[in-house]
Structure 1
Amino acid sequence: MSRRKSPDSPLFPLELPVPDFSFELAARRDGFWPIAGADEAGRGPLAGPVVAAAVILDPDLIPAGLNDSKLLSAEQREVLFKEIMATATVSIASSSATHIDTTDILKASLDAMRRAIDGLAIAARFALIDGRDVPQGLSCHAKAIVKGDSRSASIAAASIVAKVTRDRMMARADATFPLYGFATHVGYATEKHRTAIDSHGPCSLHRLTFRPFRTA
């Protein structure tokens, strides 16, 4: 049931621990199917959107090497992103910096996950959510899993899709706002980014309710 498709790449050592499909199989035994994993990327940066992804994996074509996106290199994430997009049902949603400032980062993240899950072309009957909170208003049953991106294959896949998508969005933003170096740090509070903010002030992508803007 959880046979993994081997990648055409030596990037993924066989000894690397990977999330499994046990949470998905347990939900299926309880009568729920299809099952989506959901995760977000970009809760911590000073700039840019928070991006959420929902993924329904094909149990017979689970890409080998799925893991928490933070544990993978950019090259590994790109390989897995292509495999996930080719073999799974995927939906992506985002909340802008303005949305984050209007509500807060947790509410904006959960809202993006809700929209990603509800936007799946195949309706999920159950969703596995990374973290401690389940988005309100979901159209399906759901379970929150702490550190789910390193425990559930579906959530790991969602974490990869969200991270790659957000990184690409920030790379495009770099062309519009070249003074900040978004393609390099993707909005995180690096020294280079903070120096650019000090020199040029914030742009429309910055989250003005975050420090250092809040204390300026």
Structure 2
Amino acid sequence: MYLGVDEAGKGPVLGPMVAAAVLADPAHLPADVDDSKRLSSDRREAIDAGLAALDTVAIGVAFVEPDEIDRPDTDMNTLTVRAQARATRTALSGAVAADCDEPIRVVADAGDTSEERFARRLREFVDGDGGAGDGGTDDDGAGDGGADRTDAIPEAGAALPSVDVTAAHGADADDPVVGAASVVAKVSRDERMAAIDAEYTEYADLGSGYPSDPTTRSFLREYVADTGDVPDCARRSWATCDDLLAAAEQSALDEF
């Protein structure tokens, strides 16, 4: 048994980034678990539901909302390691981890050009406060199998197993437990995006939330044209938002 951790949604202009941690014996995972990008949406959802139903698996999920992403005093590397630490701490607080006498092996998909630096920072965040009290938002998480993933992140100083962390690029494709974490992160983000989409019923579709998605760009253009600002679900520090707001301002000046 060891823990895999990954994130989804680093690049979108809409919605949160989501990190997920899965603590499991690889033998208990579905045989076809893989990097979420290699699986169909239906298969990801089936794997996610299957993992949640297992009492031999602990899951933690952490959301990094747009207002945290937009903070000027942080960066995506720090946000990624902080989110992975929050998810890891939530999974470690589960009943499965409570019985572990040895350090828990943690394998992370590296969110930094330096795998060693990312592993060191992740261990420091997990051993410290996991990002709590550092401007982080409240996070959704699940303990052991079948939980609702709405448990609070463990308090700073909470008794958790010690960890031995390694990080590697492409771990979500090479390691089954990290692959499982990537599936949980992707499904959790997709669910949140569906909920966000439901808040904007007057618009056709938000799309995937990525800047390259024509549907997403169309939604943002229409919203800015209607309101003069980007929606709350947008990462306003992204260049996409800057460009759309600048274009809307220039259009207004031209009309004037």
TM-score, structure 1 normalization: 0.78
2:199 alignment partner AA: T
Among 94, 99, 119, the alignment partner of 2:68 is 99
SS of residue matched to 1:119: helix
Aligned residues: 181
2:234 aligns to what?
206
Shift of 1:105: 2.6
Q: Show the counterpart of 1:144.
A: 167
Mapped to 1, the partners of 2:194 and 2:219 lie a distance apart of 16
Q: Which residue of 2 aligns with 1:130?
A: 109
Q: Secondary structure at the match of 2:126?
A: coil
For residue 198 of structure 1, report the CA deviation from its aligned partner. 1.5
Residue number in structure 1 paired with 2:79: 108
Post-superposition shift, 1:59? Answer: 4.0
**What amino acid is aligned across from residue 150 of structure 1 in structure 2?**
A
The AA in structure 1 aligned to 2:86 is R
* Amino acid of the structure 2 residue aligned with 1:104: D
Cα deviation code 1:37-62 (max 9, x no counterpart): 00000011101100010001134422
Alpha-carbon shift at residue 137 of structure 1 (Å): 1.6
Report deviation, 1:78.
Answer: 1.1
Runs of 4+ displaced beyond 3 Å: none
AA matched with 1:137: F
* Identical residues among aligned pairs (%): 31
2:3 is equivalent to residue 36 of structure 1:
yes
From the two aligned structures, give the one with the greater helix fraction: 2
Q: Is the 8 A contact 1:180 1:193 kept in 2?
A: no
Unpaired runs of at least 5, structure 1: 1-33
Alignment of 1:122-201 (within 5 A): 122=97, 125-131=104-110, 132=115, 133-134=118-119, 135=122, 136-139=124-127, 140-178=163-201, 179=203, 181-182=205-206, 185-189=207-211, 190-201=213-224
The answer to whether the aligner puts 1:76 opposite 2:43 as a matched pair is yes
- CA shift, 1:180, in A, is 6.5
Q: List runs of 5+ in structure 2 lacking aligned partners.
A: 128-162, 225-229, 247-256
For the 8 Å contact 1:36–1:55, the answer to whether it is kept is yes
Shift of 1:109: 1.9
Q: CA deviation at 1:177?
A: 2.3
- Counterparts of 2:66 and 2:12, CA distance in 1: 10
Cα pair 2:26 2:177 within 8 Å, conserved: no
**Which amino acid is 1:147 matched to?**
G
Q: Give secondary structure in 1 for the equivalent of 2:3.
A: strand
Q: Who wins on radius of gyration, i.e. which is larger?
A: 2
Q: Residues 21 and 61 of structure 2 are in contact (CA less than 8 Å); yes or no, is this contact kept in structure 1?
A: yes
Deviates more, 1:148-157 or 1:85-94: 85-94
